[in-house]
Amino acid sequence: MRTLIVVMLAGLLLAACAPGDPLAESTAPAQVGGDAASGQVTQQEPGGAAVDETAPPRGEAGEPVIVFRRGGGLAGRSDEWMIYADGTVVSAEGSRQAVAPAEVEALLAGLDGLGFFEMQEAYGQESQCADCYRYEITAVHDGQKKTVTTIDAASDAPPELAQVIDQIQKVLGA
């Protein structure tokens, strides 16, 4: 009996430590629907929340200025937030919050000041840390668009990248 319990626990432990990148999972495409009688069009955000397309656009051309993905950790989380220029913040689950547009602009200027747009595209590719968080950050500012991926244990990441992650998480309250 004791051997069976040990084998089961070892199997669970190995399954939890299996390599996998929750950030590699694709997000389901948005679904569009509406009411033909009223002419109202709604878009289904990933996670199921409906968005009224007649509402004012969220940010420049409706595109987020920052997309922040965080996955992994002990619990194997998979989180995503989209931050728009107007201060709208939408999670992948469809929850919304608002921050001041000036705070979003200050965040983007801070990322630029930390050299985010000059960083490499990826750090920590050789790390085998199973319980570390993985991050993917895409930012658009002053005609520049950049995506950077990293992991908590990335020994090759510049210290400014940790500051970028901290600043974004502070705005998100995450």
CATH architecture of 57-172: 2-Layer Sandwich (3.30)
pLDDT the model gives residue 12? 43
**Which residues of the chain fall short of a pLDDT of 50?**
1, 4, 6-61
DSSP the chain: -HHHHHHHHHHHHHHHTS---GGGSPPPPPEEEEETTTTEEEEE-TTS-EEETTSPPSSGGG--SEEEEEEETTTTEEEEEEE-TTSEEEETTS-EEE--HHHHHHHHHHHHHTTGGGS-SB--TT---TTSEEEEEEEEETTEEEEEEEETT-TTS-HHHHHHHHHHHHHHT-
**What pLDDT is recorded for position 129?**
80
Q: Is the pTM of this model over 0.85?
A: no
